[in-house]
Amino acid sequence: MKFFADTAEISEIRDLAATGLLDGVTTNPSLIHKAGRNFLEVVREIADVVEGPISAEVVALDYDGMMREAEVLRKIAKHIAIKVPLTPDGLKACRALTSDGTMVNVTLCFSAAQALLAAKAGATFISPFVGRHDDVAFDGMQLIADIRLIYDHYEFDTQILVASVRHPMHVVEAAKIGADVMTAPPKIIWQLFKHPLTDAGIASFLKDWESTGQKI
């Protein structure tokens, strides 16, 4: 499973990249707003730090506008994935961009039917939002399982990018289903490292080691 960081905060991205476990980054207009910085400048900086796919989202809703914005974004670096919404115009732009060799992340997916359309449009990534799905009392993880089943059935190459991840168990459940990628806020990725027995084990080993009076 690939790990993407869902943030536009460059310092958080640098910290995670230093672990060697970061495969890419996803941004969206809300994350850019939160970072309070210039969109193109942030995307450029992220692209310098992370070699994997960097998702940058268009804000136009019509095909021509999306293609115009995508043109600006994809010039930043070869590993920019253009993020388009799951609409008829978004999927038309997806088809055009992927046919031209550009990665596309189709976002705001909330049903298996939508995921099927995105795969048929040649999407590189489909982003089903599990947390927002759970928020309205639908089973976000069941959506991931349904998409996995459909994509495997037809051997679609589109990668399932689990988005709107809210806690470590979302990551574990998505991995059990066989999702290709998950994107999570850095805080959740750091939480994956944690286990109280690991901390307790380190403390007791160190205490016993000190008692030996040895040094390495």
Of 191 and 198, which CB lies nearer to ligand E4P in the complex structure?
A: 191
Identified catalytic residue from 75, 78, 83, 120: 83
CB of 135 to ligand E4P, least distance (A): 8
Which residues lie below 8 Å from residue 168, measured CB to CB, with a gap of 6+?
188, 191, 192
124 binds ligand E4P (CB under 6 A): no
Task: Report the site for ligand E4P in 77-116 (rule: CB under 6 A).
Answer: 107
CB of 21 to ligand E4P, least distance (A): 18
Among 7, 28, 102, 158, binds ligand E4P (CB under 6 A): 28
Among 8, 16, 22, 26, binds ligand E4P (CB under 6 A): 26
**Interface size with ligand E4P, residues (CB under 6 A):** 11
Taken in order 160, 165, 171, 176, the sign of the CA dihedral is negative
75 assigned to active site: no
Of 29 and 201, which CB lies nearer to ligand E4P in the complex structure?
A: 29
Exposed, middle or buried by CB within 10 Å (0-12, 13-18, 19+), for 200?
Answer: exposed
d(CA 3, CA 172): 12
Which residues lie below 8 Å from residue 82, measured CB to CB, with a gap of 6+?
55, 56, 57, 58, 70, 73, 74, 93, 97, 102, 103, 104, 105
Pairing of strands 181-184, 103-109: unpaired
Task: Report the site for ligand E4P in 127-186 (rule: CB under 6 A).
Answer: 127, 129, 131-132, 163-164, 183
Tokens of 120: 């048929």
Of 167 and 201, which CB lies nearer to ligand E4P in the complex structure?
A: 167
CB of 163 to ligand E4P, least distance (A): 4
Which residues on neighbouring strands pair with residue 46, listed in sequence order?
A: none
Three-state SS at 137: coil
Residues engaged in binding ligand E4P (CB under 6 A)? 6, 26, 28, 107, 127, 129, 131-132, 163-164, 183
Residues catalogued as catalytic: 83
